[in-house]
Amino acid sequence: MQRRIVLKRAGGMALSATLVPAALAQSDKTAFIISGFPAGGMGDQVARPMAEKLRGSYASSVVADSRVGAGGRIAVDFVRRAQADGMTILQIPSSPMTLYPNTYRKLSYDPPADFIPVTSTVKYSFVFTAGPGVPPEVKSIADYIKWVQAHPKEANYGVPAAGSALHFVGMLLDKHIGQRLTAVPYKGGAPLLNDVLGGQVPVSVSVLGEVMPYIRNGRLRGLAVSSPERSPFLPGVPTFSEQGFRDIVVQEWLGWFLPAKSPQERVQLLNKLVRDGLQDPALVESLAKNGLQPFHQSPEEFAQLMRGDLARWTPIVKASGFTAED
């Protein structure tokens, strides 16, 4: 468990070196960007503006749509079974593609075999967050450990979903502190946020963008961020690594995939258009408001990243003994 976990290499936007054939025109079909999570969430911050940018250059019509449920697995399976013509695009966080194959005994899909990685789009980190259920003098992980050791009945932390990467951050912290922490899984970030704000659960591991406004206005306290470096959106919150927990380095990505056997020309064109779209200052500013950083890679770089993340989770999950349940 002492291995360093890095789910994302820090770094900026990687430019694709592959040339897109000039003769490749937009399709006269409708393209769909399929997200595995509800409308209005983090995925919409990328999918909807990118749909506008792709319209008229990738396809005559581009629609952002959702197939919600099973932690994103319904969307993944839907795109897996779609026609491999480049018109059905999967937008999914890293966990369904790199963590779930290690936590579920059986999946309906095989990420490396069933999909072509197109590009990552954004990266984001997690925050270990304290609410009014924890005394105001608790301002760091060291403070929290002292408090929870003195109040073992309060050794609970909330996570948006059982078996998520956020859950594993909590499990890794549990290994360090000599005090058993109990995860309280919720069905999404919104109900978890409400209970942290209300003091029903003392701390949480949350997606940065969901708790950022409340940390900024003082209603919540960020005790640590999971990224390799401090977040530019919460520069006052130290990393786990800074506080002595060097193996708790977790940064997730949101990525785009096409079904296996989709035309390579479509892969390259989509990659180029996403790269161009992520350079729009207005979009960059909009993403920043939600704690998201643009992160573009070539298809080859993205495929390598996914393979590395998939392999990296294997010993972590095995050591934890955790198995996901439907």
- pLDDT tens-digit map of 105-124: 999 999 999 999 999 999 99
Residue 18: pLDDT over 50: no
Mean pLDDT, residues 74-93 taken together? 97
**Burial state string for 221-241 with b = 16 or more CB within 10 A and e = fewer than 16:** bbbbbbbbebbebbeebbbbb
Residue 46: pLDDT over 60: yes
Which residues are paired to 206 by β-bridges?
127
Structure tokens at 36: 């595995």
Would you state the pLDDT for residue 67? 93
Share of the chain above pLDDT 70, in %: 92
> Mean pLDDT in the chain?
91
Residue 192: pLDDT over 80: yes
pLDDT-derived band at 25 (thresholds 50, 70, 90) equals: low
Mean pLDDT, residues 195-211 taken together? 97
Angle between the N-to-C axes of helices 281-288 and 42-54, in degrees from 0 to 180, rounded to the nearest 10: 170
pLDDT-derived band at 175 (thresholds 50, 70, 90) equals: confident
Residue 193: pLDDT over 90: yes
3-state secondary structure 6-53: CCCCCCCCCCCCCCCCCCCCCEEEEEEEEECCCCCCHHHHHHHHHHHH
- Per-residue DSSP letter, 153: G
Is 97 or 40 the better-scoring residue by pLDDT?
Answer: 97
Strands 203-207 and 59-66: unpaired
Is 71 or 208 the better-scoring residue by pLDDT?
Answer: 208
Angle between the N-to-C axes of helices 42-54 and 264-277, in degrees from 0 to 180, rounded to the nearest 10: 110
Spatial distance between the Cα atoms of 254 and 211, rounded to a whole number of angstroms: 18
**Coil/strand/helix, residue 158:** strand
DSSP per position, 187-250: SSHHHHHHHHHHTSSSEEEEEHHHHHHHHHTTSSEEEEE-SSS--TTSTTSPBTGGGT-TT---
Would you state the pLDDT for residue 177? 83
Spatial distance between the Cα atoms of 143 and 76, rounded to a whole number of angstroms: 41
Residue 258: pLDDT over 70: yes
- pLDDT tens-digit map of 214-244: 999 999 999 999 999 999 999 999 999 999 9
Least confident of 263-272, 294-303, 308-317: 308-317
- pLDDT tens-digit map of 151-162: 999 999 999 988
pLDDT-derived band at 180 (thresholds 50, 70, 90) equals: confident
Spatial distance between the Cα atoms of 77 and 99, rounded to a whole number of angstroms: 16
Which candidate, 114, 120, 97, places its Cα nearest to that of 46?
120
Would you state the pLDDT for residue 110? 97
Other Cβ atoms less than 10 A from the Cβ of 322: the count is: 16
Mean pLDDT, residues 191-209 taken together? 97
Spatial distance between the Cα atoms of 104 and 74, rounded to a whole number of angstroms: 14
Would you state the pLDDT for residue 42? 86
